[in-house]
Amino acid sequence: MPGMIQIPIMAGVVLCKEMRIDLSAVEVSLVGVFTSRRFRSFPTPREKITVYSVLADGIGEGTLEVRLVEVASDRVINRYKRWFVFPDRDLVVTLEVCFRKCSFQSPGRHRVEIRFDDQIASEWTFEVMKA
């Protein structure tokens, strides 16, 4: 049963290879940021893709789902789903979702969807191309 959640304000979606945290410097770095990807062959080798976003003004708890979707077929190629709690409305929360074995079957447009209780909070489209 879905919880009661107010969809947060999202400060964009960033795609990258990984997020690194430097505890001594108290810094977060996004490594390998991209807006499109090129591959020599399809289906592509499996690779890690990280989805990063900053969330604000969320209230309550509910189901968080992040999807990677092939736009032409509307096929979900990767999915991450979990229960999510906003501890405090005034707290800014970072979201990092790592798809460890992502493979693209063909070139074309792909979309990242971030959903709360099945409502789209944010989406980002990116191109997968042949090199």
Residue 1 pLDDT level (bands cut at 50, 70, 90): very low
At a CB cut-off of 8 Å and minimum separation 6, what does 82 contact?
A: 63, 64
Task: Please report, for residues 41, 92, 103, 120, the alpha-carbon distance to residue 108 in angstroms, rounded to integers and kept in the order given.
Answer: 13, 34, 13, 22
The amino acid sitting at 73 is S
Summarised one tens digit per residue, pLDDT across range 39-73 is: 999 999 999 999 999 999 989 999 999 999 999 99
pTM beyond 0.85: yes
Distance in Å from the first CA to the final CA of the chain: 45
Summarised one tens digit per residue, pLDDT across range 88-97 is: 888 899 999 9
Query: What domains can you pick out in the chain, each with its CATH number?
Result: 5-130 (2.60.40.1930)
pLDDT reported for residue 3: 57
